[in-house]
Amino acid sequence: MVPVVFVQNLWVNYGEEPVLTGVDLSIMPGEFVFLLGKTGSGKSTLLKTLYAGVPIADGQVQVAGYHLRKLKFKDKPKLRRQIGMAFQDFKLLYDRSIYDNMEFVLRATGWKKRKLIQARIMEVLDSVGLAEKMERLPNQLSGGEQQKAVIARALLNQPQIIIADEPTGNLDPETSIEILHLIKNVATQYHAAVLFATHDMTLLEHLAAKTVRCVGGKIWAD
């Protein structure tokens, strides 16, 4: 089986300073991986590298079959359609309904037929329990519901991997656990791998999964 993410001897610099040094990481299809690390550990840089957001100084990085060091600018959208992103600060469009947020993403990624768009939006919103609230604006939803909308958005293009960057950082403990299990369940449903970045160690008590730590620009597997 071919890994969804394969990283070997990755080096990333900001200016003259190395931020990631000799990182190795492998994530298999359908695998759930916790990524732990404090601010400044290189964790966010690693996530940005995986969706081709920062240049690679050295090493090999493959994501969803794309070799990132050889990736042409015109192919970045194709790569990113294979990656579902869930952020701590949601990044929803607050002047549009939840449905319209979903439609915006699909049309931006090449979907054209209205019936197919409607069917796909209903499928993902139903999977996260938001179908009945699709006409509401984001600020009419709770923080947990907004994060569910973000998860639905991440699923729209049936990605090979979901990258969740501190998705529970703004949520209370009970809602955080709910969101953790929701991401796990919908990823299993859609056969997607998950890289779940967090600094909340208590979440590890609620889901048995592979854990890697980013410390000083290096990755350590537990």
CATH of the domain at 25: 3.40.50.300
User: What is the pLDDT at residue 198?
Assistant: 92
User: What is the pLDDT at residue 38?
Assistant: 84
Residues forming a β-bridge with 10: 23
pLDDT tens digits for range 88-137: 788 899 999 999 999 999 998 889 999 999 999 999 999 999 999 999 99
Q: pLDDT confidence of 221, banded at 50, 70, 90?
A: confident
Range of the domain at 186: 5-221
Given a contact cutoff of 8 angstroms between Cβ atoms, the answer to whether 170 and 95 are in contact is: no
Can you give the pTM of this predicted structure?
0.92
User: What is the pLDDT at residue 129?
Assistant: 95
Q: Which amino acid is at 96?
A: R
User: How far apart, in whole angstroms, are the C-alpha atoms of residue 118 and residue 147?
Assistant: 21
- What's the angle, vertex CA 160, arms to CA 105 and CA 158, rounded to 5? 40
pLDDT tens digits for range 34-93: 999 887 888 989 999 999 999 999 999 999 999 999 999 999 989 999 999 988 788 899
| Structural domain total, the chain | 1
**Token pair of 95 as six digits:** 């002047």
pLDDT tens digits for range 138-189: 999 999 999 999 999 999 999 999 999 999 988 899 999 999 999 999 999 9
